[in-house]
Amino acid sequence: MVQKKEYIQKMFAGISHRYDFLNSLLSLRRDKYWRRFAAEKLPSGRILDVCSGTGDVAIEVSKRSDAIASDFCAEMLKLCALKIAKSNIKNIYCIQNDAENLSFKDNSFDGAIVAFGIRNVADIKKALSEMHRVVRNGGRIVVLEFSQPRNRFFRSMYYIYFQKLLPVVGSLVSKKTGPYSYLPSSVMAFPKREEFTGLMKASGMMDIRYYDLTFGIVTVYVGSNL
């Protein structure tokens, strides 16, 4: 687990300068819509964005709420802080933090969100229970993550793109071979929808729903702290 953590931290540090560009290119700009949809499932108030990376979710959240952008990768967080300053956004605070050991008090947020991050943490259960711990009773937890499309025909076409073309484009642009091969393999290894909702439930969340977007390429999971 420690090894995975270090590998992930270094991997994101290595691609941080190309991360936003590749996100937008490889998702054909759908990523903006996915993040907006997920952020809109949160209540307003004080929101924690876990695994915030370069901060796009926190920026979306900041349109309605105060946001804390947290990530354990200093290079990603530095770009997040720069982006916020350039856009003159005043209600986002950036902090370096490990998703598995959040440095916040119990019940200190109205909601927490993680986008494309939970797949990367070494201990998913620990990260989910940390999000549950820091959100107040009645608050919400939202997870946006890649999924495996359900339609067999669409899935086989999509996998040609996702497993063959995306690693090539990703490695050419980022000049790193590992990360964009890791992406499809980590998605394939990630728990399926029902299994993941089970993990959310096991961490103490209730009333869990999920929404498939863009033919089930991604799924938004929403849970409540009751």
Segment interacting with ligand SAM, rule: CB under 6 A, options 69-77, 81-89, 128-136, 156-164: 69-77
Element (H, E) at 114: strand 109-115
Instruction: Please report whether residue 200 would count as binding ligand SAM according to CB under 6 A.
Output: no
| Other residues' Cβ atoms within 10 Å of the Cβ of residue 106 | 9
Least Å distance, CB 178 to ligand SAM, is 14
The mark string for 13-32 relative to ligand SAM (x by CB under 6 A, - otherwise) is ----------x---------
Residue from 61, 73, 92, 124 binding ligand SAM (CB under 6 A): 73
The mark string for 29-68 relative to ligand SAM (x by CB under 6 A, - otherwise) is ------x---------------xxx--xx-----------
Residue from 60, 98, 110, 145 binding ligand SAM (CB under 6 A): 98
Instruction: Please report whether residue 174 would count as binding ligand SAM according to CB under 6 A.
Output: no
The CB-nearest residue to ligand SAM is 53
Least Å distance, CB 226 to ligand SAM, is 26
Distance CA 58, CA 49 (A): 6
Please name which of 144, 57, 55, 123 lies closest in space to residue 95, comparing C-alpha atoms.
55
Cβ proximity of 87 and 59 under 8 Å:
yes
Distance CA 104, CA 123 (A): 18
CA-CA distances (angstroms) from residue 203 to 102, 141, 150, 223? 15, 11, 26, 10
Distance CA 174, CA 29 (A): 18
Residue from 116, 162, 180, 182 binding ligand SAM (CB under 6 A): 116
Least Å distance, CB 153 to ligand SAM, is 28
Please name which of 213, 210, 197 lies closest in space to residue 34, comparing C-alpha atoms.
213
Judged by CB under 6 A, how many residues of this single chain contact ligand SAM?
22
Least Å distance, CB 154 to ligand SAM, is 23
Which CB sits closer to ligand SAM, 98 or 110? 98
Element (H, E) at 33: helix 30-39
Please name which of 42, 92, 44 lies closest in space to residue 71, comparing C-alpha atoms.
92
Least Å distance, CB 14 to ligand SAM, is 11
| Other residues' Cβ atoms within 10 Å of the Cβ of residue 112 | 31
Binding site for ligand SAM (CB under 6 A): 5, 8, 12, 23, 35, 51-53, 56-57, 71-73, 76, 98-100, 115-117, 120-121
